[in-house]
Amino acid sequence: MRTGAEYRAALRDGRKVVIMGGGEIDDVTTHPATAAMVEQYVAWYDRHFDPDWKDTLVAPDGRPWCFVLPRTKEEVLAIGRSITKTIFLSAGNITHTPHYGHLIAMGVLVAAETRNAGPHHAANAEAYRREVVETGRFITFCGGAAIIGQRMQPEPADRVAVKKVRETDKGMIVRGRLGMHTSPAYAEDVYIGHLTGVQIDGHPAGFIVPVAAPGVTTLLRRPAVRESNPFMAPLSSRYDELDGQMWLDDVFIPWERVFAVDPAPEGLATWLRWHHLYGWLAKAEFTLGLALALSDALGLKEHDATVEYLVDLVAEVQVVRSCIAGAEHDPEFTPTGYCVPNHAHLGAGGVSLFKARQRISELLRIIPGSSLIVAPGDSDLLIPELAEGLEESFGGGGYTARQRAALLQLAWDHVSSALDGRESAFELHASGGPPGWRHWLRRSFKDYNNLANAVLDFIDLDMPAIDVSGIGTALPAARRPVSLPLKK
Amino acid sequence: MRTGAEYREALRDGRVVYVMGEGRVDDVTTHPATRGVVDEYVRWHDLHRDPDWADTMLAPPDAEGQRTPWALTGPHNASDLIGMGRSFAKTCFLSAGNITHDPAYGNLIALGIINAVAEHGAGAEHVDRAKAYHTMIARTGRFLTFSGGSPPIGYRLRPDPKDRAAIKLVRETDKGIVLSGRIGMHTSPCYAEDIFVGSLCGVQLDGHPVSFVVEVGAKGVTTLCRKIAARDANPFLSPLSSRFDELDGTLWLDNVLIPWERVFLIDPGPEAVARWLMWHHLHGWGARAEFSLGLALALSDAMGLTENAQTVEYLIDLLAVVQTIRACQTAAAHEPEPTLTGFCAPNQRHVMAGGITLFKARQQIGEILRMVPGSSLVVAPSNSDISAPALAAGLDEAFAGGGYTTAQRSALLQLAWDHVSSGLDGRESAFELHASGGMPTWRGRLRKTFTDYNSLANAVLKQLDCDMPAIDLGSIPAAPLAPRRINTPRSPALEAKP
């Protein structure tokens, strides 16, 4: 595992990054829009050298859990523990890390093995995964879908994100523009999925692009609007991982980074939704933690209605914990022996959290009462003519006004900020949103015919045997078609 | 495990049983109100000898090659819990989740008695007494059911608080205690042989709350079962109601001798006895939800809706609930908790999370199953209508086709009706909203067993760049479960008014 400093230095690789509303960024490690997140990733790497974190992040044989390809239930449990502990540190806001990148590389390997279009594809995928393990290189993920303007092209053949310009004996040269993906400014590689439409030997292809490769431009979204004072924005000021788009202008992709992959959602995402669910759980757990802290700070921990709100939150958190525990204790195995958290259990947890998410946020807005809205900033507390009155208004019960205000501002930043809004909008799309998770559950549920035929045993009559397996094997819903405006 | 025939014979023990609206039942094995469920229990016993069920019902062979019934096992590790849970899920499904009390549940009650006596700290002699009773249950397969011990409503409205207890201690003898009184709702008493009566009965000995086990066939015991769930006499229209109405009841004791070896000193609340019971309840509710999903799947096939997008979304709603319960149960068995007496119990947090999920989802599950088949559910004919010459051709035209005869499609629709629109369904809902304390108790138990209050509250403070007070929220899980509802008697002045 490299150090945080080595990672920081690796980002000064000549990459071309533009941020909406802010122009070109010469150095992501120092620019105000990106420097704080770089430091979070630096801390992520350095944590592996922290003795206090050793038992969480490092296997007994010395391998970082983030770079272990699991083959046993015990390894899945340990990897899960390392994910949940680290993702909580950003209140679930930093969802893309080098660990997630390794899960992408593992998924590329499985998707290549599943497609089985030639041994070199799986071999190349494994070689790439090993490179990630040996170097700690940070890869992120882009599905490869076209952006809205491309989808509005009059000619159907032009409605793709990327086109192959030409092939050489060393690789292929591609050109195009890619839609939303996350943390490209902080990653070193981006995996581009088969939704580009690029094919290799007649098979759907994914490929890997270095962020700093010649011809690559990364366009980041505008940062989540926030107070410049970190007291008012303790999360927004540090954990805005920045989504982006990517433009490819005659970019060369070597054949070793092009993979014939299975297009089913289960292959590439074999481990990714597990990580997504941990991210959502971390946000829910952080919400519960805040609610608990606020119930203490506001003297409400023995107030019946507040405790009932807390139990509502506990129940949502515990359901997801149970689903993840079920998934890890009851895993599945790929044909080549990799251990995978049970997708059906994970799907149930994800659907449950999608249903609960808005309510979870509302509860955190309810519990502190209107103090949440009128809490002062630290600068207000320092104004001589306000200090005494604010201390009288917000101090007491074991908390200073500053302490209580800090907690209230943290809650506000967590569930009433632009960062919160971005997180919601992002997660409603990133992994397919509720329709994607419901469909994934639909495909991973195994007992359609068993259950349908089992109820027939209650009828004292010969009945037709039922085959409803088509429900579970249906292809993923097609991406939303875009209607073109009629020509005038 | 005894045979079903031996179980049936054991019920002819002179018990005094009444069924509301039916009068005295001389023999529960033959009376029309009770024999259907007796036959289900007979089948339950005989499943243990069915080779097709051996791997579900029996533990793997021990060193001597013996296979113990999971139903009578005292679990010592996660593997035991997984095996037991699988057998509960499979057998509960056989009644669509309607028969929730069986000898396996009784075994869990007996285990809970050991747990409760140990947690109360009554002493080794009392723990040994509880263990001996459990050993007897495990050896004989004797069917034990559960009553919390609370009094019926009339007792709770008595003017003198001293008279509001369900049971009074008449006297102590060298052989045991003699008790009289009346006990509120519990389930399957007319099919069981023993009833555990919990400490809510109000009896105390030397300052300790008393629970006890009473034989249904003992002298002085009268069992009053509720009215049967209203159902059509034709089993085609009531394929579930006609077989799976397990009958709840109340119990009257008139100077009944309880031998000392059946008297157990425990804490006032029922939590410790119920240590394994909520897990079994969740398996029952899970079986009912799985049956609903199975019916919805079968109906989507019978109604030609397997490719209808809205129907498939309904199915996914159902399977998301089913799969969440499966995940919670899997986690509960794989992450068990030890008890004071060396047994292994399913992780309560996971069980409670599953139970709360189902409490929230239950009504929606019923509604979805009413929606999936469309209005055919309401107007489907019976087998007698289909046989009527004047109707047969028309009904065939109206209900047959697509691979199903009229009788087949109607049978499936009537099965669905009986599952989610019958008196049996209404009873199940009303019962489960009370039997294990309902939603308040499940939430209370989750509140008490969730362990991360302080760690989460203090962890979020690390995001703040200022010294903060350390937070201690230990009072939240430490608070007792909400007390039982207090019934307030009318004031004497009001009573006097005409």
A231-250 per-position pLDDT tens digit: 999 999 999 999 999 999 99
User: Which chain A positions have a beta carbon within 8 Å of B461's beta carbon?
Assistant: 293, 407
Instruction: Tell me whether B221 touches chain A (CB under 8 Å).
Output: no
pLDDT band at A487 (very low <50, low <70, confident <90, very high): low
Q: Which domains does chain A have, with CATH numbers?
A: 4-264 (2.40.110.10), 271-442 (1.20.140.10), 446-473 (no CATH)
Q: By three-state DSSP, how is residue B121 classified?
A: coil
Q: Which CATH number applies to B4-68+99-265?
A: 2.40.110.10
Q: Where are the beta strands (DSSP E) in B288-377?
A: 337-338, 344-345
In sequence order, the 6+-apart residues with CB closer than 8 A to the CB of B227 are B19, B20, B21, B22
Q: What is the model's pLDDT at position A293? A: 96
Contact: A307, B476; criterion CB under 8 Å: yes
Candidates A239, A283, A319, A462: best to mutate against B (most CBs of B within 10 A) is: A319
Give the whole-angstrom CA distance, residue A196 versus residue A172: 14
Give burial (CB, 10 Å; 0-12/13-18/19+) of B228. Answer: buried
A377-410 per-residue burial string, b: 16 or more CB within 10 A, e: under 16: ebeebeeeeeeeebeebbbeeebbbbbbbbbbbb
User: Which chain A positions have a beta carbon within 8 Å of B291's beta carbon?
Assistant: 451, 454-455
Tokens 């959602």 sit on residue: A265
In sequence order, the 6+-apart residues with CB closer than 8 A to the CB of B52 are none
User: Which chain B positions have a beta carbon within 8 Å of A342's beta carbon?
Assistant: 327, 330
Task: Identify the helix (H) or strand (E) that includes residue B146.
Answer: strand B144-147
User: Which chain B positions have a beta carbon within 8 Å of A462's beta carbon?
Assistant: 408
Nearest CB partner across the interface for B443, out of A311, A458, A459? A311
Phi/psi at B97 (5° precision): 80, 10
Average pLDDT over residues A122-136: 97
Q: What is the model's pLDDT at position A155? A: 86
CA distances B188 to B55, B181, B246, Å, are 27, 19, 6
Q: By three-state DSSP, how is residue B283 classified?
A: helix
Contact: A403, B466; criterion CB under 8 Å: yes
**Per residue of chain B (498 residues), what is the pLDDT tens digit?**
999 999 999 999 999 999 998 999 999 999 999 999 999 999 999 999 999 999 999 999 999 999 999 999 999 999 999 999 999 999 999 999 999 999 999 999 999 999 999 999 989 999 999 999 999 999 999 999 999 999 888 888 888 888 889 999 999 999 999 999 999 888 999 999 999 999 999 999 999 999 999 999 999 999 999 889 888 989 999 999 999 999 999 999 999 999 999 999 999 888 899 999 999 999 999 999 999 999 999 999 999 999 899 999 999 999 999 999 999 999 999 999 999 999 999 999 999 999 999 999 999 999 999 999 998 998 899 999 999 999 999 899 889 999 999 999 999 999 999 999 998 998 888 888 888 888 999 999 999 999 999 999 999 999 999 999 999 999 999 998 887 777 777 666 665 554
Give the whole-angstrom CA distance, residue B34 versus residue B243: 9
Task: Identify the helix (H) or strand (E) that includes residue B169.
Answer: strand B167-172
State whether the Cα torsion A304-A305-A308-A309 is positive or negative.
Answer: negative
Tokens 């559960």 sit on residue: B146
CA contacts within 13 A on the Cβ side of A344: 24
Statement: residue A31 has pLDDT above 50: yes
Contact: A327, B459; criterion CB under 8 Å: no
In sequence order, the 6+-apart residues with CB closer than 8 A to the CB of A132 are A67, A98, A101, A102, A105, A139
In sequence order, the 6+-apart residues with CB closer than 8 A to the CB of A175 are A162, A163, A165, A248, A249, A250, A251
Average pLDDT over residues A296-306: 91
User: Which chain A positions have a beta carbon within 8 Å of B311's beta carbon?
Assistant: none
pLDDT band at A485 (very low <50, low <70, confident <90, very high): low
Instruction: Tell me whether B420 touches chain A (CB under 8 Å).
Output: no
Please give the model's pTM, rounded to 2 decimal places: 0.90
Q: Which of A175, A225, A230, A231 is nearest to A198 (CA)?
A: A175
Q: Tell me which amino acid residue A67 is.
A: F
Give the whole-angstrom CA distance, residue A452 versus residue A449: 5
Q: How many CB pairs under 8 A join A and B?
A: 228
Average pLDDT over residues A178-192: 94
Instruction: Tell me whether B402 touches chain A (CB under 8 Å).
Output: no
In sequence order, the 6+-apart residues with CB closer than 8 A to the CB of A377 are A227, A229, A231, A232, A405, A409
Task: Name the packing angle between helices B277-302 and B103-120 (round to 10°).
Answer: 150
Domain boundaries B273-446, CATH class: mainly alpha
Phi/psi at B334 (5° precision): -80, -20
CA distances A428 to A355, A431, B398, B441, Å, are 12, 8, 44, 34
Contact: A460, B239; criterion CB under 8 Å: yes
Instruction: Tell me whether B478 touches chain A (CB under 8 Å).
Output: no
Q: Which of A298, A301, A235, A364 is nearest to B453 (CA)?
A: A301
Q: By three-state DSSP, how is residue B378 classified?
A: helix
Statement: residue A164 has pLDDT above 60: yes
Average pLDDT over residues A271-282: 97
For chain A, what is the HEC assignment?
Answer: CCCHHHHHHHCCCCCEEEECCCEEECCCCCCCCCHHHHHHHHHHHHHHHCHHHHHHHECCCCCEHHHCCCCCHHHHHHHHHHHHHHHHCCCCCCCCCHHHHHHHHHHHHHHHHHHCCCHHHHHHHHHHHHHHHHHCCCEEEECCCCCHHHHCCCCHHHCCCEEEEEECCCEEEEEEEEEEEECCCCCCEEEECHHHCCEECCEEEEEEEECCCCCEEEEECCCCCCCCCCCCCCCCCCCCCCEEEEEEEEEEEEHHHEEECCCCHHHHCCCHHHHHHHHHHHHHHHHHHHHHHHHHHCCCCCCHHHHHHHHHHHHHHHHHHHHHHHHHHCCEECCCCCEECCHHHHHHHHHHHHHHHHHHHHHHHHCCCCHHHHCCCHHHHCCHHHHHHHHHHHCECCECHHHHHHHHHHHHHHHCCHHHHHHHHHHHHHCCHHHHHHHHHHHHCCCHHHHHHHHHCCCCCCCCCCCCHHHHHCCCCCCCCCCCCCCC
Q: By three-state DSSP, how is residue B335 classified?
A: coil
Contact: B350, A448; criterion CB under 8 Å: no
Q: What is the model's pLDDT at position A275? A: 97
- The nearest alpha carbon in chain B to A398 belongs to B469
Q: Tell me which amino acid residue B164 is.
A: R
ipTM of the complex: 0.85
Instruction: Tell me whether B71 touches chain A (CB under 8 Å).
Output: no
Adjacent-strand bridge partners of A173: A166, A252
Contact: B306, A454; criterion CB under 8 Å: no
Instruction: Report chain B's terminal Cα–Cα distance, integer Å.
Output: 59
The residue with greater pLDDT, A151 or B69, is B69
User: Which chain A positions have a beta carbon within 8 Å of B460's beta carbon?
Assistant: 91, 286, 289-290, 293, 410
Contact A294, A367 (CB under 8 A): yes
What residue ranges do the domains of chain B occupy? 4-68+99-265, 273-446
User: Which chain A positions have a beta carbon within 8 Å of B96's beta carbon?
Assistant: 455, 458
Q: Where are the beta strands (DSSP E) in B234-287?
A: 248-259, 263-265
A101-128 per-residue burial string, b: 16 or more CB within 10 A, e: under 16: bbbbbbbbbbbbbbbebeeebbebbbeb
Instruction: Tell me whether B201 touches chain A (CB under 8 Å).
Output: no
The two structure tokens encoding residue A89: 């540190």
| Pairing outcome for strands A258-260 and A203-210 | antiparallel
Candidates A277, A451, A475: best to mutate against B (most CBs of B within 10 A) is: A451
A317-331, A441-455, B152-166, B236-250: least confidently modelled range: B152-166
Instruction: Tell me whether B323 touches chain A (CB under 8 Å).
Output: yes
A459-476 per-residue burial string, b: 16 or more CB within 10 A, e: under 16: beeebbebebeebbeeeb
- The nearest alpha carbon in chain B to A463 belongs to B408
Contact: A464, B327; criterion CB under 8 Å: no
Q: Tell me which amino acid residue A410 is.
A: L
